Amino acid sequence: MNSLIRRMIGKVAVITGGARGIGAATAKLFAENGAYVVIADILDELGAMLADSIGGRYIHCDVAKEDDVESAIQLALTWKGKLDILFSNAGFGGPSGSITSLDMEQVKHLISVNLLGNVHGIKHASRAMLKCRTKGSIICTSSSAAVMGGLASHPYSLSKAGIIGLMRTAACELGLHGIRVNCVSPHGVPTDMLVSGYRIFRGNETTPEQVSKLVGEEGSLLRGRAATVEDVAQAVLFLASDDAGFITAHNLVLDGGYTSACNTLSFIYQ
């Protein structure tokens, strides 16, 4: 990559859930753009290999545990003396089924990871940014399921909607210090988590390629075009960079227009 267009030179970033999927794609893109990246995840082998390949650092981090998140932030401070970016991306699909029969212990666990994990991240990242007087950028991963009903399970949708509310209130407070807080809300990205979800309903033989085709045909106005992890990484790169310096409290939905228009009407234009 041409060094003249690298957008993150000298920036220090922590990415939770960074060992695979959207997090891994973002870690690679950040590094290509000149950032120093700390990957925080529970997938130790994958995370450590990726960190080594991009000249970054890896730390085991269960975001449901506040001490783990604090340690990940502290690693960035110890390594490079500052924190510019947090991409709070860790999460999982959790329990599904009727609301009348939900296992509440499973729901509480999902909330502790998907929602409280973001609370932990914003809390400790903002502390570090304030201490270092960094006008940083915090990006959380929400979902199209937070803005449109019926796309995911009740607990997952709840957790992702909560992230958007948290992002907006945090942006109000932290904006006073020049710290920006935003969300990305992907739709239909054929990650391991989405493929696993499809396998529950369509059978264990469902492949990532089949999911990508289904999403491209049914989950986008851009027919035949499914989102990729690289699409989301590019959006996160933009929000993290100085190019987005006047954007905060924003939920950037990456859905090919799905949640904004009814794609069943596309026959009008055929």
Residue 154 buriedness (CB in 10 A; 0-12 / 13-18 / 19+): middle
- Residue at token pair 């009348």: 100
Q: Contact, 95 vs 106, CB < 8 A?
A: yes
Q: Contact, 160 vs 264, CB < 8 A?
A: no
Q: Which of 36, 58, 156, 258 is catalytic?
A: 156
Q: Tell me the one-letter amino acid at 263.
A: N
Residue 141 neighbours by CB distance under 10 Å: 24
Q: Contact, 182 vs 138, CB < 8 A?
A: yes
- Residue at token pair 């903002």: 126
Residue 87 neighbours by CB distance under 10 Å: 31
Helix, coil or strand: residue 7: coil
Helix, coil or strand: residue 169: helix
- Residue at token pair 């502390």: 127
Q: In what order do the strands lie in the sheet with 12-16?
A: 57-60, 36-41, 12-16, 85-88, 137-141, 180-186, 251-254
Query: Is residue 258 flagged as an active site residue?
Result: no
What are the backbone dihedrals phi and psi of residue 188, each rounded to the nearest 5 degrees, phi first? 70, 35
Catalytic residue numbers, as ranges: 156
